[in-house]
Amino acid sequence: MKRRKLLWYSLLFVVGCASEVNTADQLAITAPKKLRLAVTDVTGIEDLQRDFGAFRIALGEVLGIPIEFFPVDNPTAAAPALLSGQLDMVFAGPSEYLILNARSKAIPVIALQRINYHSVILVRADSNIKSLTQLKGKTIAMREIGSTSGHLSPTKMLMDAGLDPNTDLKIVLLNDKGVVALKKGEVDAWATAFDRYQNVIAREGLSEQDFSILVKGPLLPNDVFMVSNQIAASFVEDLRSRMIKNQDKLIESIVIAPANQKYKGGQLITAKDSDYDMIREVYRKLGQENFLQ
């Protein structure tokens, strides 16, 4: 009887080992020999190296394969590169993710959650405007078309307050110069991300005392790492697992760059397509569904 049990346990051990070997072999077969990485808001190889060079090295160490930069001029340019197999992985903002998902069926893998990633709409400290509804007939400065925190989210906040952004007020796109225009009285309000607001007024030599936050929106969808849908599902799962397991190392390599301080204190979490439905809703309400086609 004991001998029979010994033989049974020995068989289980052999099968278990074989299973582990087969899993490792399968990952080795499905893993690409290298990953080509693009960052949608960083153009040029020199800027990529400056802002994400340390991350490229860290990710390569975590995955055990080389990571190569693939510069793109804009988010739209990444879509055909993903479709043709020239590009494997993209790091993009929420709005850019939706464009790439719609045009190339890119798969969301890992989201980089930012603390204090909220949109704010500000007025001058001496303004008589105390609510969003009082912006009717006024002019508001925003960042640029498609910016999650500086255009889409503030637009949704206006719509939720009962305002039609196409007819009830004037929107001007001034990027970070919106704060100067607000200070000079050239616009009545300014919309941007909360952390960006703090950085911009410091850079412009202004004070928070000069402005009043009219409204602060909810936490926004996260920036996301996505991959080509041509990459094997087993490798995608392994990629997700390794990035989360080694997130301290990866995030540290990102925030080394001065341009990436907005990610300081963040964390890597599993990305879900449904997390970005809020942005889809704004595009639909604006009649701009063509951005997502």
Examine domains 35-115+221-291 and 118-219 and report if their fold is the same: yes
- Residue 114 predicted with pLDDT over 80: yes
Q: Cα 119 vs. chain centroid, distance in angstroms? A: 14
- Residue 34 predicted with pLDDT over 50: yes
Q: What pLDDT, on the 0 to 100 scale, is given for residue 274?
A: 92
Q: What pLDDT, on the 0 to 100 scale, is given for residue 76?
A: 86
Which DSSP state fits 72? -
Residue written as token pair 């920036």: 223
Q: What pLDDT, on the 0 to 100 scale, is given for residue 7?
A: 38
Q: What pLDDT, on the 0 to 100 scale, is given for residue 55?
A: 98
- Residue 4 predicted with pLDDT over 90: no
- For 145-174, the pLDDT digits (tens) are 888 999 999 999 999 999 999 899 999 999
Q: What pLDDT, on the 0 to 100 scale, is given for residue 67?
A: 98
> So where are the chain's domains?
35-115+221-291, 118-219
- Which CATH number applies to 118-219? 3.40.190.10
- Residue 232 predicted with pLDDT over 50: yes
Name the pLDDT band for 285 (thresholds 50, 70, 90).
confident
- For 172-224, the pLDDT digits (tens) are 999 989 999 999 999 999 999 998 898 898 888 898 899 999 999 999 999 99
Range of weakest confidence among 1-10, 40-49, 54-63: 1-10
DSSP-assigned states of every residue in 110-178: EEEEPTT--EEEEEETT-S--SGGGGTT-EEEE--TT-IIIIIHHHHHHHHTT--TTTTSEEEE-GGGH
- Residue 14 predicted with pLDDT over 70: no
Residue written as token pair 């952004």: 165
Integer-rounded Cα Rg, in Å, for the chain is 23
Name the pLDDT band for 289 (thresholds 50, 70, 90).
low
Q: What pLDDT, on the 0 to 100 scale, is given for residue 255?
A: 97
Task: Provide the 10 A C-beta neighbour count for residue 166.
Answer: 11
Q: What pLDDT, on the 0 to 100 scale, is given for residue 8?
A: 39
35-115+221-291, which class in CATH?
Answer: alpha beta
Q: What pLDDT, on the 0 to 100 scale, is given for residue 293?
A: 62
